[in-house]
Structure 1
Amino acid sequence: MGKYKAGKETKGKIYEASKALFYEYGYTNTTCLKIAKASGANVGLINYYFGSKGGLGLDVYNEFMSAIKTQVKEKLDAKQIQADLLLQTAVEMRMLNYNMRTNKNFSRFYYDILNENVVYKQHTVMTDYYRNLAESCDLHYSEFEICFITYTNFGASAATNLAYDAGLIDCSSRDFVNASLNQLLSSMRLDQNIIKQVIDESYEIEKQIDLRIDKNFVVL
């Protein structure tokens, strides 16, 4: 039992150290040696517990994406705002877009793991989210179709966000996230009237709640 507890504590220290370093320096500039030094653990234990630095990066990504969903739901409930899963997802995307524009530590990490193909090598929570979203809309997609939607939107998100931040897409932040929502929901083959309603309603909700990603990817 003592050995198990020590191992769990070591794994936790590695994870927390990686979050702090990823947030401060980005994923690309954080090496396994830096994580080992910050956590006080042997560098070989990173692979033992997480498979690779990529496994750590993906765990951090999955954690804050799940936290965003949880926080949005709690904030909607606190405001007594009724929202089905489709509308809630649109609000989450707006919150994500806001933090991409305002938190450079967060956006750097996000770009890093996309550019280094971290999210394309292992399962992410986004596949589960899109599957649940499709089911909530009574869309009976195969596993192939769900994966295709997931990774198509990953690629589109990386490209369009980078182009927007570089000034190659000239529009307001609101127009940008509206276009992103339209792209995702259109790829799911939803009716255009439903898409317009979700975009309009999620914008009104966005004005009523606040969500930010703070130091070490803490979602507040």
Structure 2
Amino acid sequence: MGRYRKSDETMERIMHASKILFYEKGFQDTSIKDISEKSETNRALISYHFSGKEGLGIEISNQINLDILKAIDRNIRRVCKSCEPILEIAIQFRQFVDFRKKNKDYARFIAELARDNILVTARKHVGIQQLEELGKKYDLGLTKEDVQFIHHCFTAMTSGVILMQYDERFENISYKYIADKEIEIYMQMLGFDPDYIDKILKESSDLFNQFDITIARNFVVK
């Protein structure tokens, strides 16, 4: 039992150190040596637990996403008593775009993961499960092939948008434009009616404007 507890503590120490370094230096400029020194663990243990820096990037990204989704869910329950699933997802899109606009360190970390195609791996399980649930809820008639195709197409597109949003050449493109387009394209891929898409765009914007969520130093979500 003590061995497992020690292993968990080591993993937590590595994760904590990595999160600080990824926030302060970025994913690209953080080395395994940096993580080893910061966490006071040897490099072999980092490789053993996470299969290297890429594995850590996926774990940190998933942890941040989970924290953000929990905060979004709390706010949704506060402002909307009976939000339907696609409306909740549209609000999630708005929050992630907003964070990338307002927190440059978060935007850099996510952009670096997108550049290395790590986000496709990090989001695969959640993205596919989400599409399957939407397909059943709204009777969209999605096949397994449809779900896989839509997930990979949309994730690739989102990675491109993340890189564009981090690029100074496109800094004048508004948060609202990017969020609206992400929601619109996602719903179009699923085959939703244009009038219904317009309805979700308006409702999600109105509800999101009542949110109060921030992402602070070391990716702490408040």
What TM-score, normalized by structure 2, do the two folds share?
A: 0.90
Q: Secondary structure at the match of 1:210?
A: coil
Question: In the superposition, relative to structure 1, how do residues 53 and 142 fare at CA in structure 2: closer, same or farther (>3 Å)?
Answer: farther
1:148 partnered with 2:149? yes
Aligned twin of 1:13: 13
Deviation at 1:61, TM superposition (A): 1.1
Paired residues of 1:90 and 1:198 also in contact (CA < 8 A): yes
Deviation at 1:81, TM superposition (A): 3.8
For residues 211 and 174 of structure 2, what CA distance do their matches in structure 1 show?
Answer: 20
Give the stretch that moved more between structures: 162-171 or 135-144: 162-171
Paired residues of 2:103 and 2:215 also in contact (CA < 8 A): yes
Matches within 5 A, 1:1-220: 1-121=1-121, 123-164=124-165, 165-168=167-170, 171-220=173-222
Deviation at 1:80, TM superposition (A): 4.5
Deviation at 1:169, TM superposition (A): 8.1
Deviation at 1:83, TM superposition (A): 0.9
For residues 121 and 97 of structure 1, what CA distance do their matches in structure 2 show?
Answer: 20
What TM-score, normalized by structure 1, do the two folds share?
A: 0.91
Q: Secondary structure at the match of 1:29?
A: coil
Question: In the superposition, relative to structure 1, how do residues 120 and 90 fare at CA in structure 2: closer, same or farther (>3 Å)?
Answer: closer
Structure 2: gaps of 5 or more residues: none
Question: In the superposition, relative to structure 1, how do residues 35 and 85 fare at CA in structure 2: closer, same or farther (>3 Å)?
Answer: same
Question: In the superposition, relative to structure 1, how do residues 90 and 80 fare at CA in structure 2: closer, same or farther (>3 Å)?
Answer: closer
Give the stretch that moved more between structures: 172-181 or 39-48: 172-181
For residues 199 and 111 of structure 1, what CA distance do their matches in structure 2 show?
Answer: 25
Instruction: Describe the superposition over 1:67-102 as per-residue Cα deviations: whole angstroms up to 9, x where unpaired.
Output: 222211111212344311110111111111111101
For residues 79 and 121 of structure 1, what CA distance do their matches in structure 2 show?
Answer: 32
Paired residues of 2:100 and 2:106 also in contact (CA < 8 A): yes
Deviation at 1:157, TM superposition (A): 1.8
Paired residues of 2:15 and 2:56 also in contact (CA < 8 A): yes
Number of residue pairs matched by the alignment: 220
For residues 199 and 140 of structure 1, what CA distance do their matches in structure 2 show?
Answer: 23
For residues 60 and 17 of structure 1, what CA distance do their matches in structure 2 show?
Answer: 11
Deviation at 1:171, TM superposition (A): 4.1
Give the stretch that moved more between structures: 160-169 or 56-65: 160-169
Give the stretch that moved more between structures: 48-57 or 170-179: 170-179
Give the stretch that moved more between structures: 61-70 or 197-206: 61-70
Deviation at 1:56, TM superposition (A): 1.0
Deviation at 1:124, TM superposition (A): 4.6
Question: In the superposition, relative to structure 1, how do residues 142 and 30 fare at CA in structure 2: closer, same or farther (>3 Å)?
Answer: farther
Deviation at 1:210, TM superposition (A): 1.6
**Cα RMSD (Å):** 2.0
